[in-house]
Amino acid sequence: METTKQATRLIAIMLLALLMILGARARAAGLLKPTNGDASDVFIKSHRVNVVINNGFAKTEVDQVFGNNSDIDLEAIYTFPIPKQASLSEVSLWIDDQEVVGEVLEKKKAREVYEDQVSKGNDTAIAEKNDYMTFDVAVYPVRAGGETRIRLVYYQPLEIDSNVGRYLYPLAEGGVDDERIAFWSVDDVVHETFSFDLTLKSAFPVKDVRLPGYMDKALIEQTQQAAEEQTGQSDEYHVRLESAEGDALTRDIVVYYRLADDVPARVEVVPYRADKNTDGTFMVVVTPAADLQRITEGVDWVFVLDKSGSMSGGKIATLADGVSRAIGKMSPEDRFRIITFNNGAQDFSGGYQNATPANVQSILGKLSKLKADGGTNLFAGVSKAYNGLDDDRTTNILLVTDGVANVGPTQHSDFLKLLRQYDIRLFTFVIGNSANQPLMERLAKDSNGFAMNISDSDDIVGRILQIKNKVLYESLHDVELKFHGERVKQLTPANPGSLYQGQQLVMFGRYAGSGPVKVELKAKISGQQHSWDCQVDFPEVDTDNPEIERLWALSMIEEAMQEIREYGEKTSLQKTIMDLGTEYSLVTDYTSMVVLSEEQMEEAGIQRRNANRVNRERKAQQARQHQPAKNYRVDQNKQNPSGNKGAFDGRRSPGFGTGPVGPLFVGLAVWLNRRKRKQ
């Protein structure tokens, strides 16, 4: 037991030190301007953000006004980091004081249309995706001495982890695109109004809401608490940040909300079906509770650390200090190994070391001389970590990076081929925005580990507690979710991977017909097969959540992109992405969204597919606005085998309220509550 406690302390200290180092590299979202000194006079006049979290997904609306101080018309290019699993679904431009919603075209065609409109001096805008790093939105013209209003909307599913939900509004750029940084500077200043409004609706009781770093500025109030038949209450909270004097878009905004300790493990299904003559779409969220035993034997920890040139200066000194403190907290029965990498990889610790006082003192001297230089050969670092493993010891590998692979093998297939030779869990910790998240998540998933994003605005203590609640317990591996019968199709993602203590499974699918279908969760625990099942009734018509269609399409697109990154571009995969992007109006690597006047839309023969979809979504959102959160739990009814106990026999959802981490979180919650501003 003491061994595992020491291992947990090691993880906590290591992540805290690395967060301090790597968070300092962040640049900001904002207007792109050339770095040659020829900066334009376009500026951000106002930046208003409205977020609604309801039914397991979030809608984020960014409404901006750009101004122009010069005497000529200018173009504005706004860039922001790509949020995780975000479907950029609306780009609206105000033309002649009327809102015009953009339409999605094949990427090259959209760019041609935009440039043609610019050449004619017409009002126009385009949104493009820069691989996994940023969304870029160009607007023309911002009139001389005038202003232009534009609005962006994206949707994303949100997961509850150990009964804690987390929403991230990304603003800090990771600084990982060297060519881009060399050409552009970023004007991140909002000159007048900056506001952030978030409405949280939950079908389950919420105990606490907080914004790390903003608790002294944020207004957090509970606006509704209604009785619900099954859950006991439906909660609604409102969060607001506002500055009338402007602000800088340099720091992420992270919102945490903690559910009550007695919230049950459950199966939830959110459907959408426009009419009985079309296929339906659904989002399924499984929050399991299983007998996952605590791991008590000694563990080998291999830390793979980025020491490329961007880590020079004070950051590398902080890194050395953080590693030194971590090693000093280990138990002598545990072993550590440190791999560093830049252009190549080095076995910094000289193999595995027991954390004896003598070994600790020896490594302290070496760490104090650590220098940063060179590129980022991620493959060399990961490869060296897998060399020299001890088959008689349990080993975990922790990869921490804020960048991308730019030296040595860089393809997904290179990394996956390496990992498939071993049965060792790899945990990837991605610091900041715009990193190669697709690769990090794939590596973790294929090794039965998990990937975790860490923002410099995160509640790092809470993130560490979430990590602790996972790595010290068994996991559900070889997870499958099955819908028995022929009604369900195109379930995505196709391979869920492993689930750790407190994690949810979020998937999307399509269905035909209506009526009852058996849903079964299957997984192995320490090699033994387990299953849980219940019944879901798919409706003939349900128009409450049309946004589910876009989220399903985005998940299908991400799976196709995963194949492209691993095996290379194929015409069939490109066509799949373009078809889904245009049908469901999503900005992808192969599609962009362009805005032009209604007259020009008609003249160009552009179908108003997205405008019609946006109208449906806005009507549904208006209807939900004045209603409490709906409970979509499906595993608690008389038709299910477990009856009112649900699929998981009435167990609580694994969280922080009980068990070994409960007292720690309670202390943190009390500390935060003393600083909360309520009205």
151 has pLDDT over 50: yes
Helix, strand, or coil here: 666? Answer: helix
Tokens of 594: 């362009």
CB 281 within 8 A of CB 552: yes
Beta bridge partners, 286, equal 267, 505
Question: Which pairing describes strands 206-210 and 253-259: parallel, antiparallel, or unpaired?
Answer: antiparallel
Of 402, 672, 609, 641, the C-alpha closest to 531 is: 641
Determine how many CB atoms are found less than 10 A away from the CB of residue 526: 9
CB 523 within 8 A of CB 499: yes
Q: Rounded to whole angstroms, how far apart are CA atoms 103 and 125?
A: 11
The 10 Å CB-count burial string (b at 16+, else e) for 421-457 is: eeebbbbbbbbbbbbbbbbbbbbbbebbbbbbbbbbb
pLDDT of residue 213: 86
Q: Rounded to whole angstroms, how far apart are CA atoms 193 and 125?
A: 23
Q: What is the mean pLDDT of residues 120-142?
A: 93
pLDDT of residue 676: 38
Q: Rounded to whole angstroms, how far apart are CA atoms 55 and 51?
A: 13
Beta bridge partners, 93, equal 100, 150
Q: Rounded to whole angstroms, how far apart are CA atoms 502 and 491?
A: 23
Tokens of 308: 């490329």
pLDDT of residue 173: 60
> Residue 24's pLDDT band (boundaries 50, 70, 90)?
very low
> Residue 315's pLDDT band (boundaries 50, 70, 90)?
very low
593 has pLDDT over 90: yes
The total number of residues shown for the chain amounts to: 679
Q: What is the mean pLDDT of residues 57-83?
A: 93
pLDDT of residue 310: 59
Of 458, 386, 464, 400, the C-alpha closest to 428 is: 400
pLDDT of residue 459: 65
Q: What is the largest CA-CA distance in the chain?
A: 78
147 has pLDDT over 90: yes
Q: What is the rounded average pLDDT for all residues in the chain?
A: 83
What pLDDT digit, counting tens, does each position of 203-226 carry?
999 999 999 888 889 999 998 765
What pLDDT digit, counting tens, does each position of 658-676 carry?
433 343 444 444 433 443 3
Phi/psi for 478 (5° steps) reads: 55, 45
pLDDT of residue 637: 62
CB 652 within 8 A of CB 264: yes
Determine how many CB atoms are found less than 10 A away from the CB of residue 612: 12
pLDDT of residue 248: 85
Of 169, 179, 183, the C-alpha closest to 61 is: 169
CA distances from 193 to 27, 97, 143, 146 (A): 21, 20, 20, 17
What pLDDT digit, counting tens, does each position of 435-454 carry?
777 888 888 888 888 887 77
CB 341 within 8 A of CB 401: no
Interhelix angle 378-386/412-419, nearest 10 degrees: 10
319 has pLDDT over 80: no
307 has pLDDT over 60: yes
> Residue 634's pLDDT band (boundaries 50, 70, 90)?
very high
Q: What is the mean pLDDT of residues 298-310?
A: 77
What pLDDT digit, counting tens, does each position of 416-431 carry?
888 888 878 888 877 6
Rg (CA), the chain: 25
pLDDT of residue 187: 83
* Lowest mean pLDDT across 7-16, 130-139, 140-149, 321-330: 7-16
Amino acid of residue 95:
I
Q: What percent of the chain has pLDDT over 70?
A: 80
What pLDDT digit, counting tens, does each position of 363-404 carry?
777 877 778 788 889 899 999 998 888 877 778 888 877 667
> Residue 647's pLDDT band (boundaries 50, 70, 90)?
confident
pLDDT of residue 469: 66
621 has pLDDT over 70: yes
37 has pLDDT over 60: no
> Residue 103's pLDDT band (boundaries 50, 70, 90)?
very high
Determine how many CB atoms are found less than 10 A away from the CB of residue 390: 11
CB 606 within 8 A of CB 595: no
CB 75 within 8 A of CB 115: no
pLDDT of residue 92: 97
Tokens of 426: 């790899």
Domains and CATH numbers, the chain: 2-24+298-471 (3.40.50.410), 27-263+592-625 (2.60.40)
560 has pLDDT over 70: yes
> Residue 594's pLDDT band (boundaries 50, 70, 90)?
very high
Beta bridge partners, 477, equal 524
CB 78 within 8 A of CB 136: yes
pLDDT of residue 282: 97
202 has pLDDT over 60: yes
Q: What percent of the chain has pLDDT over 90?
A: 47
Q: What is the mean pLDDT of residues 54-73?
A: 93
Q: 3-state SS of 234-251?
A: EEEEEEEEEECCCEECCC
102 has pLDDT over 60: yes
601 has pLDDT over 90: yes
Tokens of 441: 């998540």
pLDDT of residue 663: 39
What DSSP assignment string belongs to 618-673? HHHHHHHHTSPPPP-B-S-STTSTTGGGTTTTTPBPP-SSSSTTHHHHHHHHHHHH
21 has pLDDT over 50: no
Q: Rounded to whole angstroms, how far apart are CA atoms 649 and 429?
A: 34
What pLDDT digit, counting tens, does each position of 252-267 carry?
899 999 999 989 999 9
13 has pLDDT over 60: no
pLDDT of residue 662: 40
Of 45-54, 341-350, 416-425, highest mean pLDDT: 45-54
Q: Rounded to whole angstroms, how far apart are CA atoms 320 and 313?
A: 12
> Residue 141's pLDDT band (boundaries 50, 70, 90)?
very high
Q: Rounded to whole angstroms, how far apart are CA atoms 334 and 4?
A: 9
CB 45 within 8 A of CB 66: yes
Helix, strand, or coil here: 14? Answer: helix
642 has pLDDT over 60: no
Q: Is the bond preceding residue 628 a cis peptide, omega within 30 degrees?
A: no
Q: What is the mean pLDDT of residues 537-561?
A: 96
> Residue 166's pLDDT band (boundaries 50, 70, 90)?
very high
Q: What is the mean pLDDT of residues 15-33?
A: 52
139 has pLDDT over 60: yes
* Lowest mean pLDDT across 110-124, 327-341, 472-486, 604-618: 327-341
12 has pLDDT over 70: no
Q: What is the mean pLDDT of residues 520-542?
A: 94
Q: What is the mean pLDDT of residues 138-145?
A: 94
> Residue 432's pLDDT band (boundaries 50, 70, 90)?
low
pLDDT of residue 403: 64
Of 222-236, 268-282, 424-438, highest mean pLDDT: 268-282
CA distances from 670 to 17, 196, 240, 260, 384 (A): 25, 25, 21, 15, 44
What DSSP assignment string belongs to 262-275? TPBPEEEEEEEBS-
Alpha-helix runs per DSSP H in 296-435: 314-328, 357-367, 378-386, 412-419
Amino acid of residue 62:
V
Amino acid of residue 457:
S
Report the Cα 596 to chain-centroid distance in Å.
Answer: 31
416 by Cβ neighbours in 10 Å (0-12 / 13-18 / 19+) ranks as: middle
Higher pLDDT, 67 or 327: 67
Of 567, 568, 573, 570, the C-alpha closest to 417 is: 567
Q: What is the mean pLDDT of residues 348-359?
A: 83
DSSP letter at 94?
Answer: E
